[in-house]
């Protein structure tokens, strides 16, 4: 955005947040290249404005509860690894809000998004301005070198495209995050999300149509496509986020372990099992989908 627009956005954020909360948001760090954003397009003012909208969804729509924040380092690189679900990435948005309002000092979560997001007009810029990064290996590497807090969903789009009867059953994990954690000595924090898999139940998916449209899948839910774009609105399910104890594979196996494909796959499976155990435990604790 232009300097004038940036000033207007800052005034709007101060008006909506109040001086004290805006001072809190102003602590968000950004490696400014001199144009107001970092090399990935992350712009603090855009992130603050998005936060002020999303916190309403966080507090009043999904009514998010979270625990285990002490497991997230307050400084330094870290990879958050979670289960993915819900058709649209509201889970990532809710974690970004959670990290900004619950961590002291606030930390910006840099979510790794699928490559197809880069092809979406307008939305690709919004994602970048709010701190999200396309999942190229070089991008991941630079985020770790920059000591960022990174969120990955190793299930990929297969996670958000699960049919309703497979909800909360994790798909196989991609292994790239383990390789990066070993090479750059980064802790891995497993994260469980309860709620996303119920927010948009997928009854059927048309894979053939999705390939022709260049999107991961074309879903049918109880409300989409029958209600048009309004049918993509998530149901007001109750969200619960839990952060598990950090895993330090690099301490046990060393940097060179990243070159062993079998070991890397085994370690990724161990993280998947940990997240699945956390999800199963969370499902047992909850008393209802909406309450």
CATH code at position 255? 3.40.1130.10
In this structure, how many other beta carbons lie within 10 angstroms of the beta carbon of residue 135?
20
- Is residue 12, in this structure, part of any structural domain at all? no
- Is residue 17, in this structure, part of any structural domain at all? no
10-residue averages of pLDDT along the chain (291 residues): 80 84 82 81 89 94 97 95 93 95 90 83 87 91 95 92 92 95 97 96 71 66 88 94 97 92 97 98 93 82
Tokens of 221: 């839910």
Are the C-beta atoms of 178 and 264 separated by less than 8 Å?
A: yes
Q: Enter the pTM of the model.
A: 0.93
- Is residue 225, in this structure, part of any structural domain at all? no
pLDDT value of residue 90 = 94
- Is residue 210, in this structure, part of any structural domain at all? no
The reply to whether omega before 225 is within 30° of 0 (cis) is: yes
Query: Domain range for residue 277?
Result: 49-199+234-285
Which residue has tokens 């991008």?
139
In this structure, how many other beta carbons lie within 10 angstroms of the beta carbon of residue 233?
14
Among 185, 146, 113, CA closest to 30: 146
Are the C-beta atoms of 56 and 89 separated by less than 8 Å?
A: no
pLDDT value of residue 215 = 61
pLDDT value of residue 207 = 63
Which residue has tokens 């990290």?
99
Tokens of 29: 């760090």
pLDDT value of residue 44 = 87
- Is residue 262, in this structure, part of any structural domain at all? yes
The whole-angstrom separation of Cα 219 and Cα 282 is 27
Residue 259 backbone phi and psi in degrees, to 5: -90, 0
- Is residue 2, in this structure, part of any structural domain at all? no
Tokens of 136: 């190229």
In this structure, how many other beta carbons lie within 10 angstroms of the beta carbon of residue 204?
11
Distances (CA, A) of 275 to 31, 55, 196, 243: 32, 25, 15, 10
pLDDT value of residue 263 = 97
pLDDT value of residue 211 = 53
The whole-angstrom separation of Cα 11 and Cα 93 is 23
Among 114, 64, 119, CA closest to 89: 114
Which residue has tokens 């119920």?
198
Burial class (CB in 10 A: 0-12, 13-18, 19+), 103: middle
pLDDT value of residue 12 = 85
Instruction: Count up the domains in the chain and report the number.
Output: 1
The whole-angstrom separation of Cα 276 and Cα 169 is 7
Gyration radius (Cα) of the chain, Å = 19
- Is residue 39, in this structure, part of any structural domain at all? no
């Amino acid at each position: 955005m232009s300097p004038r627009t940036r000033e207007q956005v800052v005034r709007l954020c101060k008006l909506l947040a109040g001086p004290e909360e805006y001072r809190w948001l102003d602590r968000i760090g950004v490696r400014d290249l001199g144009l107001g954003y970092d090399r990935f397009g992350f712009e603090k003012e855009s992130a603050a404005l998005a936060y002020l909208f999303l916190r309403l969804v966080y507090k009043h729509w999904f009514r998010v509860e979270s625990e285990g924040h002490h497991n997230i380092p307050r400084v330094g690189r870290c990879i958050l690894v979670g289960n993915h679900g819900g058709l649209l990435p509201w889970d990532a948005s809710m974690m970004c809000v959670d990290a900004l309002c619950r961590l002291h000092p606030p930390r910006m979560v840099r979510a790794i998004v699928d490559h197809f997001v880069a092809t979406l007009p307008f939305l690709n810029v919004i994602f970048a301005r709010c701190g999200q990064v396309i999942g190229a290996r070089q991008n991941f590497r630079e985020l770790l070198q920059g000591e960022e807090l990174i969120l990955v969903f190793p299930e990929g789009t297969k996670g958000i495209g699960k049919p309703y009867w497979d909800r909360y059953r994790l798909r196989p994990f991609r292994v790239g995050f383990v390789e990066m954690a070993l090479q750059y000595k980064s802790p891995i924090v497993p994260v469980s999300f309860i709620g996303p898999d119920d927010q948009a139940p997928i009854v059927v998916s048309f894979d053939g149509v999705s390939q022709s449209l260049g999107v991961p899948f074309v879903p049918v839910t109880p409300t989409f496509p029958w209600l048009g774009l309004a049918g993509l609105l998530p149901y007001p399910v109750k969200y619960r986020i839990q952060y598990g104890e950090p895993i330090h594979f690099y301490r046990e196996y060393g940097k060179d372990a990243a070159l062993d494909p079998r070991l890397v796959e085994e370690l990724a499976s161990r993280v998947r099992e940990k997240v699945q155990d956390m999800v199963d435990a969370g499902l047992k604790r909850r008393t209802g989908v909406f309450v």
